[in-house]
């Protein structure tokens, strides 16, 4: 049983904001990487205890988010996606996909550090369905025959994940406190819009993640059909709306691919 664990940083317990915790110039960046790595290790422990054979960890945070020396030595680490950004390592025969440290999509009410790719994005849609970073991974999984089974992050993200993949196992390690979608904000305003949250203690968060990963793997081995992966029919239309960013006005883009979700996601990058 082969698992790919994707990672991000903003959904980790104890990661307080974007600018000081998840960027190289931030004073707590190295501490944020350590917190993420320990959450990932907790998931690894749960998956292996439940019967996983092989785990690869794909560092999906833009600046890099893992401290390799602290990562469980039983797994392999992946950084970089060639020739295109997507599917981020998923095209290698993995049975299952999991994500640790995930934040909600742009515009999520009561989300913590909500965004999709960057804070200039107002919304992304695939065939009319609003999706964030996790949603993009889910629909790639649906095309490649990989099952998303587990996700951890803030409470709003777990609700997003369950809506996309009924039956998925999730763990909430914090909950955002800011109401509203922030549609009226420009990019800089939105970057600082959703920073209030209540956090689970990091050690408790790891215990919950370890158990959640164990439960997800155990149930998948017994009943893979209990995870309901969404399917879409072609053609695939990918749309993106952005906010005002400095002197750059809002913009709308639309791409279409006749047969491939991976293809339409990579079209903006020259595909």
Q: Between 74 and 270, where is the model more confident?
A: 74
Q: Does residue 137 sit within a domain?
A: yes
Q: Does residue 251 sit within a domain?
A: no
- Here the CATH number for the domain that contains residue 125 is 3.40.50.10780
Complete edge-to-edge strand list for the sheet that includes strand 121-126: 129-131, 121-126, 236-242, 251-257
Q: Does residue 252 sit within a domain?
A: no
Q: Does residue 13 sit within a domain?
A: yes
Count up the domains in the chain and report the number.
1
Q: Does residue 55 sit within a domain?
A: yes
- In angstroms, the CA 216 to CA 150 distance is 6
Across 264-271, average pLDDT? 72
Q: What is the pLDDT of residues 8-47, one digit of tens each?
A: 999 999 999 999 999 999 999 999 999 999 999 999 999 9
For 177, the domain range is 2-232
Q: Is the pLDDT of residue 84 over 90?
A: no
* Positive or negative: CA dihedral 113, 160, 48, 140: negative
Q: Does residue 92 sit within a domain?
A: yes
Model confidence at 83, pLDDT cuts 50, 70, 90, reads low
Q: Does residue 258 sit within a domain?
A: no
Query: Residue 35: helix, strand or coil by DSSP?
Result: helix
Residues in the chain: 271
pTM score, whole prediction: 0.95
Q: What is the pLDDT of residues 121-171, one digit of tens each?
A: 999 999 999 999 999 999 999 999 999 999 999 999 999 999 999 999 999
- In angstroms, the CA 102 to CA 29 distance is 17
By C-alpha distance, which of 259, 270, 6, 251 is closest to 132?
Answer: 6
The beta strand positions in the chain, using DSSP E, are 2-7, 54-59, 76-78, 96-102, 121-126, 129-131, 147-154, 169-176, 197-199, 236-242, 251-257
Q: Does residue 242 sit within a domain?
A: no
């Amino acid at each position: 049983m082969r698992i790919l664990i994707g990672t991000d940083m903003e959904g980790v317990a104890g990661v307080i904001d974007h600018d000081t915790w998840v960027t190289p110039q931030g004073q707590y960046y190295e501490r944020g990487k350590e917190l993420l790595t320990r959450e990932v290790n907790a998931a690894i422990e749960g998956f292996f205890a439940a019967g996983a054979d092989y785990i690869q960890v794909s560092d999906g945070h833009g600046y890099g988010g893992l401290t390799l020396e602290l990562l469980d030595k039983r797994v392999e680490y992946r950084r970089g996606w060639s020739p295109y950004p997507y599917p981020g390592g998923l095209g290698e025969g993995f049975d299952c996909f999991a994500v640790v440290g995930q934040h909600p999509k742009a515009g999520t009410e009561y989300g913590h550090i909500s965004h999709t790719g960057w804070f200039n994005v107002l919304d992304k849609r695939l065939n009319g369905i609003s999706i964030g970073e996790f949603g993009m991974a889910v629909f790639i999984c649906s095309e490649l025959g990989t099952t998303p089974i587990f996700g951890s992050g803030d409470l709003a993200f777990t609700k997003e994940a369950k809506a996309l993949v009924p039956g998925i196992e999730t763990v909430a390690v914090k909950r955002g406190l800011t109401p509203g979608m922030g549609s009226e904000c420009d990019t800089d305003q939105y970057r600082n819009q959703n920073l209030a949250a209540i956090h689970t203690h990091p050690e408790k968060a790891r215990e919950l993640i370890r158990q959640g990963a164990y439960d997800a793997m155990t149930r998948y081995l017994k009943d893979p059909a209990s995870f309901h992966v969404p399917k879409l029919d072609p053609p695939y239309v990918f749309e993106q709306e952005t906010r005002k960013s400095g002197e750059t006005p809002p913009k709308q883009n639309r791409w279409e691919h006749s047969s491939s979700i991976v293809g339409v996601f990579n079209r903006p990058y020259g595909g």
